[in-house]
Amino acid sequence: MKIIETKNYAEMSKRAADLIAAQVLLKPDAVLGLATGSTPIGLYDELVRRYEAGELDFSAIRSVNLDEYCGLDGTNDQSYRYFMNTHLFDRVNIDPKNTNVPNGKATDFAAEGERYDALIRQLGGIDIQLLGIGLDGHIGFNEPDDAFTGPTHEVKLDPSTIAANARFFASEDEVPRSAITMGMASIMQARRVLLVANGNSKAEILKKALFGPITPQVPASLLQLHPDLTVIFCGDDK
């Protein structure tokens, strides 16, 4: 495990972009595992800047996102598909057909989970998986539970996650109560994992996840067993 503490959000975003950019340069058809949330926005802006400067080419890149809210389709501006389109995909030369987000409008989420895991296998697995971390230790939407869940699956969101994500919605009532998320298997099978965390509010859960007991009550703690984990943290709130 490699832990990098940066002095501010801009530096955190640049250091994280360095790792993703290195992956894109080394393997032009790499499979990027991508994440949403407020933390990676600066990293995506930095990738766009490097693309515009002619330093990066996404034309053969494939991507798989971690999760999606159940009930939202990609035209809903709160959906994670919409987030990815606006923050990254529409701003670089990635082929939209090569971008994948779980289908929040699936009628059968068990079948959608199977489809998504088969797709990841078919792509040859994830070369680098980007993660944020929730205040409750979730990664993707793998919430604290009695056991780790391997496959992509539907999950009931924790009240603390609903409260934390309410800031993106008109009111807390509008936050979907469930999501479909990549499970711990695809995340742990990624060849490299890059976790970004921003703000002093994340310091305590990050310490628990990286140095505390490995337990499904802190889903991110399983990352201690990943052979190629980089954590980039900045204590200063944006």
Our answer to whether residue 136 is catalytic in this structure is yes
Query: In 3D, which of 98, 126, 115, 178 has the Cα closest to residue 151?
Result: 115
Return the beta strands (E) in 151-220 as ranges.
Answer: 153-156, 178-181, 192-198
Our answer to whether residue 67 is catalytic in this structure is yes
131 strand-pairing partners? 195
Contact residues: ligand PGA, CB under 6 A: 37-39, 132-134
Q: Checking DSSP bridges between strand 128-131 and strand 192-198, what pairing results, if any?
A: parallel
| CB closer to ligand PGA, 23 vs 36 | 36
Q: Checking DSSP bridges between strand 153-156 and strand 178-181, what pairing results, if any?
A: antiparallel
Residue 131 Cβ, how far from ligand PGA at the closest point, in Å?
7
| CB closer to ligand PGA, 8 vs 60 | 8
Q: CA-CA distance, 153 to 117, in Å (whole number)?
A: 10
The residue from 46, 68, 112, 138 that is catalytic is 138
CA 168 from chain center: how many Å? Answer: 17
Residue 36 Cβ, how far from ligand PGA at the closest point, in Å?
8
Residue 138 Cβ, how far from ligand PGA at the closest point, in Å?
6
Contact, 104 vs 69, CB < 8 A? yes
CA 191 from chain center: how many Å? Answer: 15
| CB closer to ligand PGA, 72 vs 133 | 133
Our answer to whether residue 143 is catalytic in this structure is yes
| CB closer to ligand PGA, 113 vs 137 | 137
The residue from 11, 45, 136, 145 that is catalytic is 136
Count the residues in the chain: 238
194 strand-pairing partners? 130, 230
Residue 185 Cβ, how far from ligand PGA at the closest point, in Å?
18
Our answer to whether residue 95 is catalytic in this structure is no
Q: Phi first, then psi: what are they for 199, rounded to 5°?
A: 105, 145
CA 99 from chain center: how many Å? Answer: 14
Whose CB is nearest to ligand PGA? 37
Residue 132 Cβ, how far from ligand PGA at the closest point, in Å?
3
| CB closer to ligand PGA, 134 vs 176 | 134
The residue from 46, 112, 143, 158 that is catalytic is 143
Catalytic residues: 67, 136, 138, 143
